[in-house]
Each structure stands twice: as structure tokens, then as C-alpha cells.
Amino acid sequence: MNTITVRGFIFDVDATLVDTTSVIDEIWKEWSAVKQLNFTDVRPFVHGRKINETLAEVNPKYDTEDGVLEVKRIAVEKMKKAKAITGALKFVNQIPNGMWSIATSGPRQVAATSLKASGFNLPDVMVCGEDVTHGKPHPEPFLTAAKQLNLLPQQCVAFEDSPVGIRSAHKAGCFTIALTTSHAKHELEEANVIIDDFADINLIFTKDKEITLVFHKWLN
């Protein structure tokens, strides 16, 4: 398969649209230092998860409302220096507003800060950590985004960088595209298509409210 036609696009934010991998590490390094913890013990739990889920994994005593707010404050400041993933801004700017959305485990304020800092206009539909009961890998984030786009998940393509995100989108019923921005190819094999870069896809506007994706390079 080298083409698919969809009506909606659902994007993760961190390491999918915005190069936040190093920034996220900085957030949790600072938090770890404050708590006198070793960051290497914290890092396995930080990517692709809601803040409260990370805190609970590290130690349930940190999973409190004040604990989440503490991390959010650090994150908002750090995300102000975030940059777009190569090719992401050009790719997204081709898609009409109303046809694309966000599904992220991160808090709305943090996601909005990183997207704006990277040059993105915020979409009408943003499903963030506080909008769902179950975070990734549960399908709720992508099911919610598709519903708010007034589409079936099967009419949407989801872009992700992490195994938990791919699993979430796949369970929801979306066609899934994985970017190798934060994980190795062998970790992303649940995705329908694995690519290195947004430049590996061309968009063709076939008719009203339909866009065809043409893959001219993929890894699986």
C-alpha cells in the first residue's frame, strides 16, 4: 500500500509535531533534582504518559493535585523554547483547519505552549491529558479526537512516535503512522506505516473533505 485516503488527521504533540524529547527530559531532570531522585530511575516513565501516571509510577506519594501542578509549572517554562519537528510545520499547514486535531497525554497548557512556540496555529480540536479518563495506550484519546472531528476513527490517520501512542491509535481504529523521532523502528512495528520524516509523504486533495496520502518512502 502506498496511498490512503482520509477525512481527518490526529497528531500526537511531543516528538511528533514538536521536538520536545530533550525538553521533556529537562522537565523531569529538574523535578528529579528537587525531589532528590536519580533521573535515570524516572526517565523510563516520562514519555507518552500523563503527568499523574508518571508520578504514580515513580512513587504514588507524588501523585497528588499539587504534585501535578508542580510539574506543569516547570513544563510550561521549558516548553517555551520548543521547536517544530523537521517538516512538521510545512506538512500540517497544508491541512485545512477543521480536518486536523491533537491527541496528547500532556496538559492543555503545556501542549498549547509548545505548539505556539514552534509556530503552529492551534487546531479547533485538542484532546489533552485532562480531557480523558484513560490515557494512552487506552484508545480514549483518539476516539475522543475523532468524535470531536465528527468522524469515525476509521476515517482518520494518526501520527505518533511512541509504542504506547501507536497502540492507542491502533485500538481506536485509526490508520497509524509512526515517526522514528524518539524510538527505533523495531519498537514501532504495530504501526501501519513507519517513516523517518514528514517529507516521506505527499498530500493530494482529491475532493471536498478528503485527502490522499502518498507514501514514497517507508520503513516497514
Structural domain boundaries in the chain: 3-20+82-215, 21-79
Name the residue among 4, 120, 135 with its Cα closest to residue 57.
135
- Mean pLDDT, rounded, for 122-126: 97
Predicted pLDDT of residue 91: 98
Query: Could you read off the pLDDT of 141-176 as tens digits, one per residue?
Result: 999 999 999 999 999 999 999 999 999 999 999 999
Is residue 122 within 8 Å of 108, Cβ to Cβ? no
CATH, range 3-20+82-215: 3.40.50.1000
| Omega of the bond leading into 123 within 30 degrees of 0 (cis) | no
DSSP code string of 193-220: EEES-GGGEEEEEEETTEEEEEES----
Cα separation, 148 vs 144, in Å, equals 6
Q: What is the largest CA-CA distance in the chain?
A: 56
